[in-house]
Structure 1
Amino acid sequence: MPVSRLRARVRPPRVLALDLSQPVTDAPPGGLVGRLSGPKRPQLRDVLEVLEAAAADPRVRVLHARVDQPAASWAHAEELREAVAAFRRSGKPALAHAQSFGEAGDGTLSYFVAAAFDEVWLQPSGEVGLVGVAREERFLADMLDKLDVRPELDRRHEYKTAANVATHREFTDAHREFADRMVESHYEHLVAGVGGDRSLSHEAVTALVDRAPIAAEEARDAGLVDRLAYRDEVVAESKQRAGEGAQVTTLAAYRSLVRRRQLRPGRRTTVALVHGHGAIQAGRNRRSMMGPVMGSDTVTLGFQQAIRDKKVRAICFRVDSPGGSAVASDAVWRAVARAREAGKPVVVSMGSVAGSGGYWVAMGADRIVAAHGTLTGSIGVVSGKFVLRGLRERLGITSDAVERGAHARMFSTEQSFSDDEWEQVQAFLDRVYDEFVRKVAEGRAMSPEEVHEHARGRVWTGADAAERGLVDRLGGYRAAFATVRQLVGLPTDARLRVRVLPRQSLAERLGIKQSDFDDARAVARELGAALRGAGLDAGVVRMSGDAARD
């Protein structure tokens, strides 16, 4: 038997198969319980890491990916496209396949990702729903009127539109202005990207968008799709191109291989990765009814551990947050400042959104990296309350109160703000906005007047934010880690050891919530009290309580 064939049997070529039939997630990895019980959505950083390793691995000959729904945001789509483009530069073929790019629905983002591959394959019964970009918002003012709910909200300034959903019935001029610019920025990026990938002119792509959704055969004839085939045919073609004896390797299997390689001895520079994901509130990371919460205590702990760890040379802070508490945001801002004071450069990598408080936590970093489609800025503030008294009375619910202090019921939903209280709301808005602008000016080396011009609550895409000095560089994780290498004086190809902080406790790795421990301690205390009341030894109960606390 020829040596080449024997070697192929011992170390057969690989086809890397990515299942992106569900959108990638950028949230920090959950515990074991969540992994076993929840849907298996691929982690964005896992996909990027695997594609980078596969490009340099001579055994990986072909990439094929199922891309029915790979991304739920423009920023994630762009990061996937960049990673695929980097893989293609290795000279290895990359094939994308979908049953349909939006079956009777919007498949724009799915196709945007697929277009970055060498070839786009589509099931014969599918279609290309490259329908374009739109932004729709629902306004609740009429509904609240009918319910006798009165919003008493104000903002700084006219582009800070978070409260508009409750106070208006349609776009204000400022709201429409930034929404239109946002859509235009995404659309132009889409058209340019698809045109470049598929060798189509700007005019040709816009004409195809206006015709979409487009049936499979028509899409192939128009140059949007290369071949019409079923999934098994794509797998067979990939194995044939990879060579005799080729084996298909999944994302999870190849990721495990990559992680084992990273444990081998060798010089690597350690970089901390701290996640800031979700609405910003004081306390620990957690999930609420509205989604994930970025707890200022958890993020601050991550920075503290990075500062104390002598092996950590720099920190990459991944921010994906629409904002939240100004006070909690400021606590995270301070953690970033302390890391820099300790000589640890901080590079912020913005995900899908990093606006309002999401920008507050980022503005003090050494460098800020955002995707073209990241939604950021929103430098402004909203405050107020909803008065529910009318709704309560309609429902037959009565209330009464006693109070001490002129403003004891200032935030009660039973009554409107008094004139004096409304003045205090205005003072709060001015104070927070002025502090926000001042800290942006300090962090971005701009004057407060310059910042105000780009602030006033306005949301920018990453590309527009970069033009205005609010962002340093466009890109995702890859660009952020390249910036880290630059700041610590490493070669561009230096290998990094990424350490995710804060370190998770055993309970967190298992996915057990802090509230479960709180409940356990409460039960232990009550049981201990009962045993003591019965004259029994409660030492075991006290030990159980301590164990739960750890």
Structure 2
Amino acid sequence: MRNFLKYTLATIVGVLIAGIIGFFLLIGLFSAIISLSDKPVVVEENSVLLLDFKKAIVERAVDNPFDSFAVPYMGSTGQMGLDDILECIEKAKTDDNIRGIYLNPGMIRAGMASLEEIRHALLDFKESGKFIYAYGDAFSQKAYYLVSVADKVALNPQGMLELQGLSANRMFFKHALEKIGVEMQVVRHGQFKAAVEPYMLDKMSEANKLQTKTYLNSIWSQMVEAIAESRKLSPEQINQIADSVALFMPAEELTAKGLIDTLIYKDELINELKQLTGIAEKDDVPAIGVEKYAKVPAAKAGKFVREKIAVIYAEGEIDGTDTDGIKSDKLSRTIREARRDSSIKAIVLRVNSPGGSAYGSEVIWREVKLASETKPLIVSMGDVAASGGYYIAAAADTIMADRTTITGSIGIFGVIPNYGELLNDKLGITTDAVGTNANSDLLATSRPMTRFERMKLQSYIERGYDTFIGRVAEGRSITKEQVDEVGQGRVWASTDAKERSLVDLYGGVNDAIKLAAQMAKLENYRITKLPKLPDPLEELVKELTGEAKSFFMQKELGDQYKIYQQLKATANTKGILARMPYDITFE
């Protein structure tokens, strides 16, 4: 027995030592990979910048050197940064080694405002005289909106093009909740605050239908006008094609109607790119993607410039469960540090958020207000800046938005579940309670709210809404009554929001930077992006200590991972929310 214990203990110790050594060897291997990824990238002569958008487009993406390796627990984030895409297009304009851009977007995963900014960057790129060539086996509606800007749009002879207009589909849980004996007790302010409708109704309210149809029409009009202008067609022609459902049209008909320039196969495409770049027929076309080209240093501007403009990114749900969302304490600290930094002469706050915690929004708003009193502060709205996302923007000197940005949704709500019927009638579980005071078991989820509780919660919601519209009124220099008229939880497309004084100017993040420089009277300046992105090795350690779970869930669920995140966020919701009524995605 003594020998058995001795050998067993020795085996355990050996395994532990081997594990520790293996861990450090793994860290060393990954450090070596990171070092290799930092080597300078050389752009060959007569290259094309490849924009294939195989990954989801977010505001900023961590530079992940492990994307090309099948490493356990450390998969690809599957994301690329909008900031990198825009910078690469701008850099390619004056890079003598880049002859043009090749667009092959596939089923692009990005918000409409992000696509609008990429599209505007491509239009600006065309002024350099370099070509933009687009090709696809199939174009989704969003992808076609983007590629329509190209000098030449080519499609596989058996390819398809999606163009039928925008629609909105909602899911309602009222009857499902009734079946399992759960009541969602809703307290809200605003007839348009539709976030709670799935718990109350089995279809959209008339108010919700009205706001949804209004912003869909606004965004679709922007898409149609842009496509029509690029393709030299009229908006009426585009809408006629959409009504006829382009998806089922033969490719030849798409060409005849002016949507596609030519029908070719991939080998023919390669030959055309060779002719455009002056490459010999026997050679390959040099192509460089965004991830590599982003590492190519831009042309030196001359001597070192001390003055900076800070671009602060606020992306995701405010104080939600998503680890990639906005944490009010961290973002407010970032804004505060930028305010106190004397080398930062202006701030651009890039907001891409559906909102979230009302308290978290207030915390961030306070720092935005203090910063705007110290130096120029411009808000640049991305795909969505609504509810709490608008709350944190309200104190800015100027609010800029893309024409396809979703904003507004000025309102708040609270939802208290009642599991009484589920516990008592369905599961046979009863509850009992004692307390020291009249309302010690305030808002217990095992019973319906009392009249007193509902009255108090409604009063709290009303005070919160009054604070919200007060913040907006102060920031926008209008009355609270005017804010209330466009508030009530209503969602707006930015074109309608601008008419109602919620937005000042159209433009993307680069336009906001230019305006900030103008307001700060800067001729030479550097851009600093905040908060700082985590080091890839830090990300690795996080993955190995518990964060790998989300990666595996995302790998398993694919595009349905967003639904999982929404359900998880709903289940963990705390406090009063200033949030969009739903998440909006365009296909």
TM-score range relative to shorter protein: 0.7 to 0.9
1:248 counterpart (287, 298, 312): 287
> Once the two structures are superposed, what CA deviation does each residue of 1:98-117 show, in whole Å capped at 9, x if it has no partner?
1101xxxxx21111111111
1:423 counterpart (435, 455, 463): 455
Report the CA distance shift for 1:512/1:330 in structure 2 as closer, same or farther (over 3 A).
Answer: farther
Identity rate, percent: 32
Measure, in 2, the Cα distance between the counterparts of 1:425 and 1:30: 45
Measure, in 2, the Cα distance between the counterparts of 1:190 and 1:11: 36
Higher mean displacement: 407-416 or 429-438: 407-416
Partner of 2:385: 354
Equivalent residues in 2 for 1:509-548 (5 A)?
509-513=538-542, 516=545
Q: CA deviation at 1:148?
A: 1.3
Higher mean displacement: 182-191 or 263-272: 263-272
Measure, in 2, the Cα distance between the counterparts of 1:70 and 1:56: 27
> Once the two structures are superposed, what CA deviation does each residue of 1:160-204 show, in whole Å capped at 9, x if it has no partner?
111011101112111111011011112211211111110111221
Aligned letter for 1:392? Answer: L
Query: Is residue 148 of structure 2 the alignment partner of residue 115 of structure 1?
Result: yes
Is contact 1:276–1:320 with CA below 8 Å preserved after alignment? yes
Query: Is residue 403 of structure 2 the alignment partner of residue 372 of structure 1?
Result: yes
Is contact 1:21–1:66 with CA below 8 Å preserved after alignment? no
1:160 counterpart (193, 196, 202): 193
Measure, in 2, the Cα distance between the counterparts of 1:338 and 1:31: 35
Aligned letter for 1:340? Answer: S
Partner of 1:37: 75
2:237 counterpart (198, 204, 209): 204
2:297 counterpart SS class? helix
Report the CA distance shift for 1:61/1:375 in structure 2 as closer, same or farther (over 3 A).
Answer: same
Partner of 1:69: 107
- TM-score calculated relative to the size of structure 1: 0.84
Equivalent residues in 2 for 1:185-264 (5 A)?
185-211=218-244, 212-213=246-247, 214-244=249-279, 247-258=286-297, 261=299
Higher mean displacement: 226-235 or 155-164: 226-235
Measure, in 1, the Cα distance between the counterparts of 2:190 and 2:177: 23
Is contact 1:314–1:344 with CA below 8 Å preserved after alignment? yes
Q: CA deviation at 1:505?
A: 5.9
Measure, in 2, the Cα distance between the counterparts of 1:475 and 1:386: 42
Partner of 2:572: none
Report the CA distance shift for 1:310/1:21 in structure 2 as closer, same or farther (over 3 A).
Answer: same
Query: Is residue 444 of structure 2 the alignment partner of residue 412 of structure 1?
Result: yes
Is contact 2:47–2:98 with CA below 8 Å preserved after alignment? yes
2:317 counterpart (279, 304, 308): 279
**C-alpha RMSD of the superposition:** 2.6
Partner of 1:535: none
Aligned letter for 1:397? Answer: I
Partner of 2:208: 175
> Once the two structures are superposed, what CA deviation does each residue of 1:4-40 show, in whole Å capped at 9, x if it has no partner?
xxxxxx9722211112234422255376678951244
Measure, in 2, the Cα distance between the counterparts of 1:134 and 1:276: 28
Is contact 2:62–2:536 with CA below 8 Å preserved after alignment? no
Is contact 2:318–2:360 with CA below 8 Å preserved after alignment? yes
Is contact 2:313–2:350 with CA below 8 Å preserved after alignment? yes
Is contact 1:32–1:509 with CA below 8 Å preserved after alignment? no
Measure, in 1, the Cα distance between the counterparts of 2:462 and 2:146: 43
Measure, in 1, the Cα distance between the counterparts of 2:328 and 2:292: 34
1:72 counterpart SS class? coil
Unmatched tracts of structure 2, length 5 or more: 1-42, 69-73, 548-587
Aligned letter for 1:346? Answer: L
Number of equivalences: 494
Unmatched tracts of structure 1, length 5 or more: 1-9, 102-106, 519-550
Is contact 2:64–2:76 with CA below 8 Å preserved after alignment? no
Query: Is residue 493 of structure 2 the alignment partner of residue 461 of structure 1?
Result: yes
> Once the two structures are superposed, what CA deviation does each residue of 1:370-396 show, in whole Å capped at 9, x if it has no partner?
111111110011113111111123123
Query: Is residue 536 of structure 2 the alignment partner of residue 501 of structure 1?
Result: no
Partner of 1:386: 417
Higher mean displacement: 242-251 or 408-417: 242-251
Is contact 2:58–2:79 with CA below 8 Å preserved after alignment? yes
Is contact 2:312–2:347 with CA below 8 Å preserved after alignment? yes
Higher mean displacement: 215-224 or 444-453: 215-224
Q: CA deviation at 1:231?
A: 3.7
Report the CA distance shift for 1:397/1:116 in structure 2 as closer, same or farther (over 3 A).
Answer: farther
2:101 counterpart SS class? strand
Q: Which has the higher contact order (CA 8 A, sep 6+)?
A: 2
Query: Is residue 468 of structure 2 the alignment partner of residue 439 of structure 1?
Result: no
Is contact 1:31–1:512 with CA below 8 Å preserved after alignment? no
Report the CA distance shift for 1:304/1:248 in structure 2 as closer, same or farther (over 3 A).
Answer: same
- TM-score calculated relative to the size of structure 2: 0.79
1:401 counterpart SS class? coil
Partner of 1:48: 86
Is contact 1:33–1:511 with CA below 8 Å preserved after alignment? no
> Once the two structures are superposed, what CA deviation does each residue of 1:327-369 show, in whole Å capped at 9, x if it has no partner?
100000011122223x222111111111111100111111111
Measure, in 1, the Cα distance between the counterparts of 2:306 and 2:497: 33
Measure, in 2, the Cα distance between the counterparts of 1:147 and 1:166: 13
Measure, in 1, the Cα distance between the counterparts of 2:178 and 2:60: 37
> Once the two structures are superposed, what CA deviation does each residue of 1:390-425 show, in whole Å capped at 9, x if it has no partner?
112312334333333333322321111111111111
Q: CA deviation at 1:238?
A: 2.2
Is contact 2:60–2:80 with CA below 8 Å preserved after alignment? no
